[in-house]
Each structure stands twice: as structure tokens, then as C-alpha cells.
Structure 1
Amino acid sequence: MSQYIPTLDYYSNGLPLVCTMYASSECYFGVNLNPLCKPCDVAYTLIPSMAYFEFLPVCRNNGISNSIAIPRSLNEKEQQELVDLVDVKLGQEYELVVTTYAGLYRYRVGDVLRVAGFKNKAPQFNFVCRKNVVLSIDTDKTDEVQLQNAVKNAVSHLMPFDARLTEYTSYADTTTVPGHYVLYWEISQNGTIPIPPSVFEDCCLTIEESLDTVYRQNRVFEAIGPLEIKIVDAGTFDKLMDYAISLGASINQYKTPRCVKFAPIVELLNSRVVSSFFSPKCPKWTTPGLKQWSNVID
């Protein structure tokens, strides 16, 4: 939800944004003992009596699982890797696993958490991302955090035109050769100056420059095609929400997916595209012992 913080700050005129608790439909997990802290500093203290909590270590170097559906059960190897609440390590990231009073046994919630500290002996966690949000074409794996940071860097190009990003999602398009990342952007503009195509091209390149070295290496060697931004009509993401609800999604728990793979959703988004733009060149990529590879193909 960090994308919405600048908008909330703008309309609330500096009022504090309070994040009180961490919970899901499975059970309540923990509370924020410092509710007036900045959203970027929020850490939730897990309450041991809410459920039996276990943690599956996450290796960030290997990326986040690229499955569209989160596997809810653990295999035998993963069960052996589980860490108890009292044994988590500061700074380590874990996938949350719960056993609840309602009968769920070692159920994977699908959230990735980072140990931020301790209150007495109770660990405190930052919410990092959902485990199933990922873009991947080749050997690259771009998770929700990387994507959000890249988009945040790119939207700065819109500020001179009094425009802001209302909503976005992404799609790994493998119908092209090579495949490429597609970002669907819904833009709100208060200014009257049209946004030149070159600005959106700069946004594309900024996103690519913000992604990790594996992605940039694949781009330089043409294993991945230029990133594409598709601008969609106002109200597109409202229609996306309506479609999800028509399929049975809960309206009070709906969140805009940051990555889409379901064909009807991609078709809906493509039907609302008003313009599209591609990255004008390859991002910079360096490797130890070799000169910088930048725009080699160009």
C-alpha cells in the first residue's frame, strides 16, 4: 500500500497515518506499539497467543516464488526448515506460517516479513511483500518491493506536469520475442501541459535502471525486450476491481494486484489502453573485471 502514501499525505495535510494492527482473514497476528510512527517505520509485534507462529526463511538472492497461486501447504523439506518465533534472527526475512485455533495447520499466509527488532523477547516485523508477486521472463525475478521502488523513481518525471500515478499493475509479456515487462499506468493530471512521449520513455528507462543487475544484464544481451508502459483510460482499475468482485473477491479485502497473469484481466487492461511507450535504450550494466556494457546492442 506504500504507493498511496504521497496521495494520503497530500489530502490529509500532514495528519499522521496510523497503522494499528497486522491481520488477515486467517487470524490476527500482531499490533503496532508505536502507532504514530511514519508508515515506512511501522513494525508489528506478534502476539504469541493469537496462533502458533512459525517462519520459513526466505532467500532474497533467489527471488520470490513466481507462482500465481501461493502454495498453502509445506513440503517435507520446508517443514524441516521452519523456525520458531523465539528463534528468528534480526534482519532476516521469513515467510509467515500459522497454525490456528480454527484448524489451519502450518498454513502459509503468503506474506514475507523482516525482523525489525524485539519488544522484550517478542520479535517485531516489517511487512515486506506478498510472496506471489513477481515478474520473470528469463533468469530475472522482480518482486513487489523492487517493482514499487522502480515505479516510485520513475513517477518523478511526471511532477513537472502536475500529474500523478493513480494506479498501476504489471505483466510479463512472453508473446513477444524476446519477452518484455509491461506496466499499465492510470494517470491523473491537473495541469494543462500535455506530457510528451519522451517523458514516458524516460519513465521506462528509469524503471529499468532501478531494477537489479540480473534484469539489466538480460536486457543488454537481448534475453529481455525493452520495458513498455501502457497508459490506460481513467477508471480502468475500478473496472478491474468490479471484475474481481464479480468472480467472488471480497470487496473489503480487495487490493489492486501488482502483477497480473490471468488472461481475461490482461484482455480487460489492453482494451483500455490509449497509448504505449517503450524504453528507448538498454539500461547500464556492469560486472566485475569487465568494462561497462551500456547500449552495446544499440
Structure 2
Amino acid sequence: MSIRVDDSFLDSAGATDELAADARAGLTSTAKSLPPRWFYDARGSELFEQITDLPEYYPTRTETQILQAHAGDIAAAAPVETVIELGSGSSTKTQLLLDAWQRTGTLRRVITLDVSASALAEAAVALSARYPTVEVQPVRADFTRHLDGLAKSGRTAVVFLGSTIGNLDPAERAAFFGAVRSALDPGDVLLLGTDLVKPAEILVPAYDDAAGITAAFNLNVLQVLNRELGGDLPIEAFDHRAVWNPADERIEMRLRAGREIRARLDRIGLDVHFDAGEELLTEISSKFRRDGITAELAMAGLNLTHWWTDPAGYFALSLSQ
């Protein structure tokens, strides 16, 4: 079975243009950075799936436990016809929700949205086989920009699992929540996964595992730059770092240059220079407290109505209208 991925929002050419723009802006800044969405080529998506199974990486298994315990409660609180999953990846956890929503008898349509065409295609085949009476529509798009173009029908749940919301800084989160609010009709809901603040000795290993899978995932973004933009960045010259920033309550993933580096992204004519020890910020992963996320949602006109967490208080799922 094959299912066509809708790439009308973000096709391969458009994605390359956006990568070029992000590379030019981020690699010429005083504090170098790249958006984390460029992790997720086929290899990056595969590595992330491996990360979710690591013993140090608690978010996936903890969120799964919450879904196993409360998917029925979520479906009962918000029986919907359409589910829009943002940053869907493999959609494995989402199946717990879809099972519960299908039992309500209302589910008609699932829209999966991701930047990785390969992950979308693979997940769509699995979902179509599991839910033959449900329309599955994979859409290659950027959830920060393309929500208003999605054609939803009936009561809708926007599902954003995995604490990907933590990859956005406060201004980006405010813009995202505003876009979600604009896309929702009365009665629609947002189901949001948030990783909660906890001790650094638990947090840091989740982003710097002993097997080195997260390091490979982080370094893979340099391979993406080299492949897509004709670069010669020496990947072996960079080291992976995961740092807890207590002031902003977030993990920061960085790549540190082990020596002075001069490279070129030939397809965009960009010369890149790193001093020895200079770092490239590749991801932030903010951690949340209930009162803080409630306030952020409220600022966008979203009312948090339900909150589910695990016994240790590591992770939370919230439902907002």
C-alpha cells in the first residue's frame, strides 16, 4: 500500500530554500544557531526513533504511560471527528488516542503533519491499515506556519505530543498558540504534551545518552547541511553537548567546534567560520510548570480544562479549548 503525501505546503525544493535561508541567517550570526526541524531527514527520523527507546530518555515512555492510563478519559472529554497531529513522526503513541477516539464512534479523519516525507509516508501506511474506516491524510508542512491551511471538518482535536512545544522559545510559543487558537472553532481542543521541570541529573542524560545516539542525531544536522547545500563541514571536528540552563529552565543542545574550522556551503556561496570552542545551538528543550503553561495558553485565548500526569510528575498532557 502506498499513500501520497501532500507536499503542497512544503515540497523538497521549498524545504531546501528554507534550509538555505536558515543556514545563512544562523551560521552568520554572532551566536550561531539552527532550527531543530532540520534534524529530521530520513536518517535523523530513524535516529530519533532509537532515542525514544533509550533508558535515559524518559519522555516517550512516560507520556505513553499517561496515554495508556487516560486515553479513554481524553476521548470522553473531547469526542472528535478530525484529529490533526503535529510533528507526527511515527504516530506510534497517537494510536493509543486513536483507538480511544474510534471507540467513541465519532472519528472520521486523521491529518498527520511533519517535515519528514519519509516518516509521514511510513506512518500513513500503518495508520491506514490499523484504521481502515478512517481517512488518513499525511501532509508535509511546518506546524509553526501552515495550520491555517489545513482543511478540517467537524469537531477537531489538534494533538501535539512529545513536548516538541519545548523546542520553541517564549515568543515562538506565543505565536504558535495564537495560530492554534485562530485555527480552532468553538468546541475544538488542543491536546498538548509538556515535559515538566525536574532535577538536572535526570534531564541531562536524556539528551546525552551513554550509547551516543543523541550525539549522532545532533551531528546529523551537519550532514544535512553538507548534502543539501553542497557543504564540506568536517563533522568529526564537532562535539555534542547537552547543557541545563537553570535560568530559562531548558536543555540546550549544542555542537562545539574542537578546532578552528573554515568550511563552505557551495550551493549558496556561504563561507562558514568557527573559532576553536565556538558552539552552534541546534535545539532548546524547555521544561514547564503547570501555572506557566496555563498562563501561556490563556494569553492566546485557550482555556486549560484537563491535566493528566504520571505519578512522579515528570510529564503532563493537557486539554485546552
Please give the TM-score of this superposition, normalised by the length of structure 1.
0.30
Q: Whose strand fraction is larger, Structure 1's or Structure 2's?
A: 1
Higher RCO, Cα 8 Å, sep 6+: 2
Higher Cα Rg, which structure: 1
Please give the TM-score of this superposition, normalised by the length of structure 2.
0.28
Q: Whose helix fraction is larger, Structure 1's or Structure 2's?
A: 2
